[in-house]
Structure 1
């Protein structure tokens, strides 16, 4: 409690006593005493210059013992009033909290009642449709199985310092609802671009302001790029909403499947060939046909007419059919693992990372990764085969980042990460103190480069102090990804990572081996090697070497071309082929290239 604040209250109380004394007699002893006290208090207040703790004994030098005693009594009354005010405020706060909790419970119960009513209405509607479809084999309509609805998942209603409790429960189909369900499936924090990839609609972003005002989402700014995080209460609510969405999908699938069974006609395994062709022969366009064996049996595999018609319509519209699925992994058949590249430059730090992650109950698999340092994957429990998930991490220490920018490795790695097919690319930068002599790029330049990684390349950026803090981050990310893939089946295809389905109950991906083969950098290395070979020839600059490499992707292409033509043509071939280009090859340089490659 500051000195000025307490003196203010004491002065107000003294003014009140003085006013009361003057109302009896303006020249009484009490009035004079209170007037003197008030003058002293105002004098002390005026001379204050800091919020020191005030004590009544500080006024001894200004007044006698009697006056001080009266002032002390008044002081005690002031303290009592202050304590009463605090107690009253705490009581009101408790009452408000209790009311808020009850209101949240009421809203939550109302939301659950709405969901239950929707399910009951859906069941009733489908029952009616089923009853119209006819009776079962027994002659009575088979009852629809009642799907159990699990609404026991609770939203954390306890308030925290970082995420105040909110009674907000977004309605399904609103922007806020879609935004929460999308963010719970992404790393925390994430960017706007990553969220919109999941929602597929710009409209969902309109729910951000409401979620921030309710304390469910926070935002932060790094190098002019905004990132967004779910608070503790936001995570809890988002997980609850995702559970309800999945439950709705399961119930709808069960009901749809049951209704389909009721309406689907029985498939025959044999048909009367004579009757079939007799009907066909009646058609004017059908020519009569004879069959040698009229008693043959024909086994028919029933194909849905709707499926064939739909496929024909899609082909007519030029719509490509979905990638064929090689295998489907059910949610219970795989586990989430974190692959760690065991070829990391600093083996000691790599081992430290593996050890630290294992201690945090992360399932770590040391591996050889052709791209990235850490990759989240799904491992089949029986076959031990692995499929790629949606998050890859490139780890850089400041010194390594510095040197990779200088020798151009940085741009190459970044380009390969952009094209790898994994949605969430995380650039994990660890602080590492370097001497000024070792720093080749200034801090501001590195900050600008990292800003472009987020703003232009669409990567997620995370800065940590050391390996241990990196392990903490990856362990929390591991738990988020496990929760994200809970109850999700994997559709394994041969070519690409398709991502989550619209209902988010399946994830289309590819095997790790196929992904590794796709991201081998041998082709890229050959291109670079060929350019470097050309640059060793006098008169061939980097730009001219690149121009030649565009015409002939590999040395073999250039050698084959030289073998097709005469020596006189070969010596001037590059000169003529690049004529008119900004970086054309001169006559002398063209002859030099022929001398190197044309006689092999």
Structure 2
């Protein structure tokens, strides 16, 4: 076999700043001409240039640019006229997404983008200015535009460095979520990304809006993903080189303060990355970054089934400023207020509270938007002298949530459809270990609306098919005993762990693999984020509402609804497909061949006919 070619290592090829350099060049010439004549339309052209620089796709003609901000009929007509003239001079097959050979590159610097007739004057005005990498001077034209460089160890500085270093890692995804970015950037910043200074409402995260305005940072998707632009990557590379003490920096990094002093003194100054952008920041209190800590979990035992594999993975994570160290927090059982008051037997619910108090369980009654019981690690805070109330304690939710069901409640929830919806919401709540606590109801079971075999089958399906852990107890006292044992077990399990705050945005980053399930997770969601994300009646998309409609049909499970949504993601698309059918028989069988689940079975004609009748029958259903 021939020898394999050596692998060439190096930086990624830098992509062009704009896929439409011809349009950019013409707009720049128009802006410069208007600038020389003192016309205010120069600002309109500049806004169009900024919009075009941010657009990542090639344009075939100027009319397609109307979707961009600041592109009106006038600008599009001018560009189309220039495009037609260009094609007549260079041929109809001339490339329009690259500049002709010998043409100056389209960019943002005024000197490089002037029209040919204006370059001579520009050269005279800026004759003292050096090429790229030089310190540059000023001519008769006035002040040269200064580059924005964030202050060292400021919020913007830390965000740029964190994103740049993530992009240099092997297999880096090129973007970061908000919580992830704050965690990585905090050690590089002297201010907190989450807590404002005393007397101020701004945190280090406030500087992100400035980076976006300066076209150094991009914010896309929902949840938001933050990534560097080409300019931001170039600036971050220089900042990183200076941070690591590199001497072969391609350009000298100049702070805003140095450039202001240079303008006053009439010459270039010495590069100083530690200079402040303004006087106020020098007076701000410096907050020391959190120390790098490790997560130590209890040794593996037969009772809890935990091992060292998860500890190695958890220890590799870097806790940010929101970490809770061992001994600085306590484990609290949270009980949904519905479990203590209102609805059902009040005596039975008060008995649960009394049993927990009798067992010495530290619990708190509050509103839970999903589940009936869960545990939080609550920070221990001491009262501050001179303040009426103690500071608010941080709370991180442990990965265990319990839904309690009496047999009569289980029967009612199966009939009205709540049972399936509750399981769906528990799976999506962000906690990895949901538990169903099934409580027998004694002789009342003989008077239920559903046969006992149906209820037993529902419980087995919950454990085997849905993957929930099911714990069966006889009465309220056993339920309280189970909650007591779980509280003490979790207190011991997490007693030596350093807990870090993660975001639900990072739920797909390896949090649900088997290795994570075998160890106590030290990366947890804050209680506020968990409870807000579990709101039952929050705003939903049309696709989500359509899925919930479909799941109300008897026999149409979540897998079947998801399979239908892959083909028809809204009711309108489904009704449009029905209209295209030529006969009633074809409409009834439209969904029958859709495959669902791991076994890829067909939905079948019966279910397809039911969906058709639901959405296409006029008047009341019989």
| TM-score, length of structure 2 as denominator length | 0.37
| TM-score, length of structure 1 as denominator length | 0.38
Tell which structure's C-alpha radius of gyration is larger.
1
- By percentage of residues, which structure has more helix? 1
